[in-house]
Amino acid sequence: MVVSLSALLLSAGFTFYLGINNWMNYGLFSFFSTLAVYNGQRVFKSKKLNETPWLQWVSRNRVVLTFVVATATISAVWSLLSILNFGWNTAAVLILSGFISVLYVIKIRGKSLREIPHLKIHLIALSWTLLLIVFPIINESIFVSAWEYGFMHYLFILGVTIPFDIRDLKYDSVSQKTIPQLVGVLGAKMIGVVTIFLFAVLLVQVNPSFALNPMFISAISIQILLLIFSNENRSDIYCAGLIDGAIGLLGLSYFF
């Protein structure tokens, strides 16, 4: 739920910043989409052995969560139809984002996308960027660079996702070659700080007013602090609560 609320705020805030009138509908689409995908992935993964405590909770509440996934999926489709301007570019972005989200956990020939070496964190950053940032720009045919804004936000999502890979060190197979596995926890934190800071610098270059935006400064500072103090023993509340929740601060900054 927290990550879905953050997706709503980031999508609604960014589209508001772009001057899109129906910015709230984009937020609702992002909310229901992430609610369906994240809970659907967890319901699917909860059927496996060697579950984490969180997935054990999901397994016990599978019926309720399945209902949530179904309801969220229907709501996401309804929200999408209220904003969708049909076009090949728009369709390509949505299909690619959906492809990543579904095959992130579902295996083809014995392997899911997340199990492919080096890809796990990049798939998360790419799917969020496509859905929340690139999609509205292309769908509304706004005369700004979708890939420029996309690249900037890709760096941000990449940085804030690194603590999850740090936490998952004890669960991830060494064959996945995540960033903490390759460069260690300290090296992963340094990469995360650099990507979040670089995002901030690039966005300020595009719009210097962000340098004086207190919410934007808070969003960047809090995420960097949460990243620095992350470790393998951090709870789901720290990651799925604080870190995911802090993403919403960036969305709020776009309203200022």
Q: Give tens-digit pLDDT for 121-155.
A: 999 999 999 999 999 999 999 888 889 999 999 99
Residue 51 has a pLDDT of: 58
How many helices and strands, by DSSP H and E, does the chain display? 12, 0
113 or 134: which carries more pLDDT confidence? 134
Average pLDDT, integer, range 185-214: 97
114 or 165: which carries more pLDDT confidence? 165
Residue 81 has a pLDDT of: 95
DSSP code for 90:
H
Neighbours of 77 (CB within 10 A): 15
The Cα angle at residue 5 between residues 51 and 112, in degrees rounded to 5: 40
Tell me the average pLDDT of the chain.
Answer: 91
| Rounded percentage of the chain residues whose pLDDT exceeds 90 | 71
Average pLDDT, integer, range 82-96: 93
Distance of CA 185 to the CA centre of its chain: 21
| Residues 218, 223: Cα–Cα separation, whole Å | 8
Instruction: Give the three-state DSSP class for 81.
Output: helix
| Rounded percentage of the chain residues whose pLDDT exceeds 70 | 94
| Residues 173, 220: Cα–Cα separation, whole Å | 31
49 has a pLDDT exceeding 60: no
| Residues 200, 45: Cα–Cα separation, whole Å | 35
241 or 221: which carries more pLDDT confidence? 221
Average pLDDT, integer, range 104-133: 89
208 has a pLDDT exceeding 70: yes
The Cα angle at residue 240 between residues 14 and 180, in degrees rounded to 5: 95
Residue 52 has a pLDDT of: 62
Lowest mean pLDDT among 52-61, 106-115, 163-172, 214-223: 52-61
234 or 23: which carries more pLDDT confidence? 23
Residue 6 has a pLDDT of: 96
170 or 207: which carries more pLDDT confidence? 207
229 has a pLDDT exceeding 90: yes
Instruction: Give the three-state DSSP class for 111.
Output: strand
Band of the pLDDT at 31, cuts 50, 70, 90?
Answer: very high
Distances (CA, A) of 197 to 187, 194, 213, 224: 15, 5, 15, 8
| Residues 119, 159: Cα–Cα separation, whole Å | 14
Band of the pLDDT at 27, cuts 50, 70, 90?
Answer: very high
Q: Report the candidate in 254, 241, 250 with the shortest Cα–Cα distance to residue 3.
A: 241
